[in-house]
């Protein structure tokens, strides 16, 4: 066997192995999060897993997170939450972050069309195959930033592919680009809302570490929880001393418990669940008859 033939075989074996471990090489996802910690809490395990399997990921944060701390002013709060979001994104493996920096919990006067326009520009730039965001139809969502983010992202996913929206983008060399599939996360999805369960057993530690990276937000959550319990005459012994170590423990316990509860219904140790919208309708004429382009 000639040397070049051996090299060719070795190269084929390597690319076959890489196709097995990186089935999504070349694909891009965009994660649209209202706040710094949403994507880690709701989808951190799945995003990390897909990145390991070849996806390149970009993150868009809609707000500036200026209100999520228990003892800092708005400027310092926003700064710390932004720095900690970068750390969390690094743990998950997300490359680039763009923050739109709309004021936290003040989105009401901002039109959905404006947020959508900001998203369309980035979708056309990054050409995401996959979108991760909040479920715009989530029943028990109470956070106004989550709701508006979900609607604007869903809208941008298809309008970015239409040439009559924001035509000035094309003078910059951008092209229309519609998102292909979508993973929607929700606070308490019910029944048929969940049609995609992802085994994150091998990614649970990274998910937990990424949530713990949001130190300011997690401490705020713990402080609020302790105060709420106290008002009802209760205490959580773990939070008797409010420090980073105990807050991290609480994050670890709660994240494992939630992922285990989802996983136990599907024979998995730890899982995350989504409403998934595929490229083609399941069992549709198009899905049954589409053939490879080349």
Q: Which residue ranges make up the site for Zn ion (CB under 5 A)?
A: 34-35, 38
Give the nearer residue to Zn ion in terms of CB position, either 85 or 204.
85
Q: Which two tokens stand for residue 158?
A: 């298809």
Smallest distance, Zn ion to C-beta of residue 233, A:
29
Smallest distance, Zn ion to C-beta of residue 149, A:
8
Give the nearer residue to Zn ion in terms of CB position, either 56 or 186.
186
Smallest distance, Zn ion to C-beta of residue 288, A:
40
Strand partners, 196: 274
Give the nearer residue to Zn ion in terms of CB position, either 35 or 203.
35
Q: How far apart are CA 211 and CA 40, in angstroms?
A: 6
Smallest distance, Zn ion to C-beta of residue 34, A:
5
Query: In this structure, how many other beta carbons lie within 10 angstroms of the beta carbon of residue 210?
Result: 29
Q: What is the largest CA-CA distance in the chain?
A: 80
Q: Which residue is nearest to Zn ion (CB)?
A: 35
For helices 215-231 and 204-213, the axis angle rounded to 10 degrees is: 80
Give the nearer residue to Zn ion in terms of CB position, either 56 or 219.
219
Smallest distance, Zn ion to C-beta of residue 42, A:
9
**Contacts of residue 63, Cβ cutoff 8 Å, sequence gap at least 6:** 34, 35, 100, 101, 102, 103, 104, 105, 107, 145
Q: How far apart are CA 23 and CA 127, in angstroms?
A: 18
Give the nearer residue to Zn ion in terms of CB position, either 35 or 206.
35
Region of residue 127 (phi > 0: left; psi between -120 and 50: alpha; otherwise: beta): left
CA dihedral 182, 252, 37, 98 (to 10 degrees): -80
Smallest distance, Zn ion to C-beta of residue 138, A:
12
Q: Which two tokens stand for residue 49?
A: 């897993």
Give the nearer residue to Zn ion in terms of CB position, either 35 or 207.
35
């Amino acid at each position: 066997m000639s040397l070049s033939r051996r090299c060719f075989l070795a190269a084929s074996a390597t690319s076959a192995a890489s196709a097995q471990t990186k089935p999504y090489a070349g694909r891009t996802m965009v994660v649209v999060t209202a706040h710094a910690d949403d994507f880690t809490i709701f989808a951190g395990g799945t995003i990390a897993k897909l990145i390991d399997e070849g996806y390149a990921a970009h993150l868009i944060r809609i707000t500036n997170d200026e209100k999520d701390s228990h003892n800092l002013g708005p400027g310092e709060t926003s700064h710390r939450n932004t720095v900690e979001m970068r750390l969390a994104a690094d743990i998950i493996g997300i490359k680039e972050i763009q923050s739109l920096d709309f004021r936290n919990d003040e989105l009401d006067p901002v039109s959905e069309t404006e947020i959508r326009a900001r998203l369309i520009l980035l979708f056309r730039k990054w050409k995401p195959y996959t979108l991760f965001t909040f479920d715009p139809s989530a029943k028990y969502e109470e956070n106004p930033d989550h709701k508006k983010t979900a609607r604007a992202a869903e809208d941008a996913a298809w309008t970015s592919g239409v040439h009559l929206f924001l035509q000035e983008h094309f003078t910059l060399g951008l092209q229309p680009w519609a998102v292909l599939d979508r993973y929607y996360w929700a606070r308490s999805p019910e029944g048929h809302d969940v049609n995609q369960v992802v085994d994150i057993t091998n990614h649970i530690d990274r998910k937990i570490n990424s949530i713990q990276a949001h130190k300011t937000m997690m401490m705020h959550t713990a402080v609020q929880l302790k105060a709420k319990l106290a008002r009802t005459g209760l205490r959580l012994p773990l939070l008797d001393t409010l420090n980073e170590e105990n807050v991290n423990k609480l994050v670890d316990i709660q994240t494992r418990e939630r992922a285990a509860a989802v996983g136990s219904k599907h024979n998995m140790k730890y899982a995350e669940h989504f409403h998934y919208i595929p490229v083609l309708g399941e069992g549709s004429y198009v899905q049954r008859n589409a053939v490879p382009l080349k």
